[in-house]
Amino acid sequence: MLSVTNLHIAVEDKEVVHGLDLTVDTGEIHAIMGPNGSGKSTLVNTLMGHPKYTVISGSAHMNGEELLEKEPWERAIAGLFLAFQYPKEISGVSLRSFLFAAYNAQMTVRNPENTKISPIKFKKFLAEHMKELHMDPSFAERSLNQGFSGGEKKKAEVLQMSILKPSLALLDETDSGLDIDALKIVSDGVNRLRSPEFSAVIVTHYTRILQYIKPDRIHVMVAGKIVRSGGFELAEELEREGYAKYGVSDERPVVPLDQS
């Protein structure tokens, strides 16, 4: 599904990711953990095509195709999705209108023979997905993320993912700022998508989301490189010992107090 080889990334002429390698097979969920400033968000934003990040060298292939040569919209059409750490507010565009346009665009571009869904059918389709995430139906008519709490924004990101059904989702600290109830709802939304056709990379600073979304592999990223990979026991080790053995002093992915 995803193969990243010797990837070097710069931000404002400063190299942040130094020769990173990562392979995610179809149907797998991977988690990338690491201290602040290790390059985790840089990696996933670069894979999605954010113009702030510059690829110095290396490659990234998705389903055998070179990902880095595609425009962001082409990556989305190919089945790539990024859930933002800090979702943007878009005034004047309702959540329903946004998703209606995105859904029809993806369906018809992927297969020109597909018929666009009608506004009435989509309204019902959206309501069903919002119910699964315990979202108030009125949020569909509000401007995208405007006036949403942190937890509501993250639910809206997972809602978008459940509607668009990507083949590879990049989740950039989707768990940050969530109380325990919202975390369970968001995790359930991700788990419902698990299938042999769905893969995901979860970027997280904490271990608690991994209690609800069990990853197939966990990677430790420090100073722009993946320095270790393993199973769930690696997350438990990090929670106990922190990143000291990797040259990072006094920082641990501890479980934070619930936030509202």
Q: 200-243: per-residue pLDDT in tens?
A: 999 988 788 888 889 999 999 988 999 999 998 888 888 888 88
Token pair 């993806």 in the structure block, residue: 106
Maximum mean pLDDT: which of 1-15, 96-110, 175-189, 238-252: 1-15
| Whole-number pLDDT of residue 24 | 96
| Whole-number pLDDT of residue 123 | 93
| Whole-number pLDDT of residue 256 | 42
Helix (H) or strand (E) holding 218: strand 217-222
Cα separation, 32 vs 34, in Å, equals 7
Domain ranges across the chain: 2-91+165-246
Q: What is the pTM of this model?
A: 0.87
Mean pLDDT of 64-73: 93
Nearest to 53 by CA among 2, 85, 8: 8
| Whole-number pLDDT of residue 253 | 52
| Whole-number pLDDT of residue 173 | 85
Residue 219: what residue type? H
Give the homologous superfamily in CATH for domain 2-91+165-246.
Answer: P-loop containing nucleotide triphosphate hydrolases (3.40.50.300)
| pLDDT of 149 higher than 60 | yes
Pairing of strands 217-222, 199-204: unpaired
| pLDDT-derived band at 18, boundaries 50, 70, 90 | very high
What's the 3-state SS for 4-60? EEEEEEEECCEEEEEEEEEEECCCCEEEEECCCCCCHHHHHHHHHCCCCEEEEEEEE
| Whole-number pLDDT of residue 257 | 34
Least confident of 114-118, 120-124, 188-192: 114-118
Cα separation, 221 vs 246, in Å, equals 9
For the chain, the average pLDDT equals: 87
| Whole-number pLDDT of residue 260 | 33
Q: Rounded to 5 degrees, what are φ and ψ at 213? A: -115, 100
Q: Are 205 and 36 in contact (CB under 8 A)?
A: yes
| Whole-number pLDDT of residue 255 | 44
| pLDDT-derived band at 251, boundaries 50, 70, 90 | low
* 3-state SS class at 85: coil
Least confident of 82-91, 163-172, 175-184: 175-184
Cα separation, 153 vs 174, in Å, equals 10
| Whole-number pLDDT of residue 249 | 59
Question: Residue 87 has what DSSP assignment?
Answer: P
| pLDDT of 103 higher than 70 | yes
